[in-house]
Amino acid sequence: MKRLNWSILAAALAFVPPLALAQTTTKDVSKKAGEAWDAVKAYTVDKKKDAVAYGRKLVRETDAKIDALEREAAKASGEVKAQRDRDIKELKAKRAQAAKKLDEMGKATASAWDSAKDGFADAYKDLHQAYDKAVKKLK
């Protein structure tokens, strides 16, 4: 069922015009991302399972956004394409770091909880700042 939902989301994002994506992303996503990492930091160790589920949701949403940027990069040529490819490579590296931190958060003991959740929240914030930067270049 999750794969079906993911496919539907990916298909829907395929039809979002890149300029509309950029217009809503730079302002709205930054605010939403800030709220998201604040929400992650607010979870207690008692709610670790919920925090990890929320983190996975955030990473999946980011995957869809990166995929949309990647489709746009494929349409470009020359130096523009090269720059977009570099941006996407950076985003994927930051996404991998966020996923690693999320995994660490899922395995964290009570004594390591605060450090683990802060590590994921910071990695997620870094990922979204890189995403915002890449989207601004599309304008």
pLDDT digit string, tens, across residues 18-43:
434 444 444 555 566 567 657 776 77
> Can you give the pLDDT at residue 93?
97
Return d(Cα 49, Cα 46) in angstroms, integer.
8
Give 74-113 pLDDT, tens digit per residue: 888 888 888 888 999 999 999 999 999 999 999 999 999 9
> Can you give the pLDDT at residue 15?
37
Q: Which two tokens stand for residue 36?
A: 């998201």
The distance of Cα 57 from the centroid of its chain, to the nearest Å, equals 9
Give 61-80 pLDDT, tens digit per residue: 999 999 998 888 888 888 88
The structure tokens 């994927």 sit at 92
**Closest residue by Cα to residue 70 from 82, 88, 58:** 88
Burial bucket for residue 25 (CB in 10 Å: 0-12, 13-18, 19+): buried
Whether 113 and 45 have beta carbons less than 8 Å apart is answered as yes
Whether 82 and 114 have beta carbons less than 8 Å apart is answered as no
Sign for the pseudo-dihedral over CA of 41, 47, 52, 57: negative
